[in-house]
Amino acid sequence: MYVEFYCLLSLGLLLSQNCEFSLPGCTDGGPLFSSKAPQVCGVRVQLEMQALWRQFDQLGTEMIVTKSGRRMFPTFQVKISGMDPSAEYVLLMDFIPVDDKRYRYTFHSSSWLVAGRADVAAPSRMHFHPDSPAPGSQWMKQTVSFDSLKLTNNLLDDNGHMILNSMHRYQPRFHVVYVDPTPNSHLNAYRNFCSFSFPETRFMAVTAYQNHRITQLKIASNPFAKGFRTSDPQEEMKDWKAENSMNWTENREDADYCSLPVSLPSADAFGCLAPRCPGKEPQACGQFIHRRVINAASGAGR
């Protein structure tokens, strides 16, 4: 089994070089995939929260990458059918570049433009679902969630997070691997896996959200962002500080910008932190601090 794992990892690195090799099912792909093992050739995968993914895709999905690693939202979740209930399977994901370009966001037109050739590709990695390996009956009885997967831009990451380049577009891919118990199964490893990709899950990796509509949709859709939906500025700032563990003080301009949240509270909330600013009304001071944080975030994302 371990030999097959090593073989599959090598094969995964080969596949990651070509986005077009990612398949919607095991019945496509020409001669190479015409002799898939029966344990995988009937596997079907349905993307959960597909309507939400499409909402984000229409706006141009962005996913935050940080040095310490950031979870995805929407979370990649799937429902699986067609597995052999008694066979063992390993589930894993990887991320491949959509193209060979680097992008930048223009605020006046609210759109992404090509900024040049892509940066050197980050080291290829795969994220194994923590329940792997498990029998097909277990995988099929409930939604499979990759909620522990994190994205990072740290090339030296040693936590197993997925390493991505900021301002590049990526396609998540999902792989189902049959754990073949027969001797020398690694010699035919290509028969024992199947790959799936969903175009609506493509995203731009960023260190700070560029499109404010993406920020708003994430706040409205993420159940963990309820603190950002309050209309009370005092409560808004209180929830934001608690969720992001930032050491804010009244009228402080040297706040810690190193770990920015999914979104920022409104200028009203910042105004509550700065009741007195020399030469400024409280609300104007709040807007000043708000812009300062946004500029710090935007600068880090380019």
For residue range 69-80, list pLDDT tens digits in order: 999 999 999 999
Asked if pLDDT for residue 192 goes beyond 90, the answer is: yes
At residue 188 the predicted structure's pLDDT band, cuts being 50, 70 and 90, is confident
Q: What is the pLDDT of residue 121?
A: 87
Instruction: Tell me the pLDDT tens digit for each residue of 254-284.
Output: 333 333 344 444 444 444 444 434 454 444 4
| pLDDT at position 249 over 50 | no
User: pLDDT tens digits, residue range 123-156?
Assistant: 889 999 999 999 999 999 999 999 999 999 999 9
Q: What is the predicted pLDDT for the residue at 2? A: 42
Q: 152 φ, ψ to 5°?
A: -135, 160
157 pLDDT above the threshold of 70: yes
Average pLDDT taken over every residue of the chain: 76
Query: Which amino acid, 274?
Result: A
Q: What is the pLDDT of residue 80?
A: 98
The pLDDT confidence band at residue 235, using thresholds 50, 70 and 90, is: low
Q: Is the pTM of this model over 0.75?
A: no
Strands (E), 179-260: 193-197, 203-206
Q: Shortest CA distance to 170 belongs to which of 119, 210, 128?
A: 119
Q: Do 214 and 56 contact (CB within 8 A), yes or no? A: yes
3-state secondary structure of 125: coil
Count of residues for the chain? 302
CB atoms within 10 A of CB 100: 9
Q: Hey, is 150 helix, strand or coil?
A: strand
SS3 267: helix
Going by the DSSP 8-state scheme, the letter that residue 288 receives in this structure is H
> Which among 177, 202, 175 has a CA at the least distance from the CA of 24?
175
Q: Are residues 164 and 121 in contact, defined by beta-carbon separation less than 8 angstroms?
A: no
- In the CATH scheme, what is the code of domain 1-15+36-223? 2.60.40.820
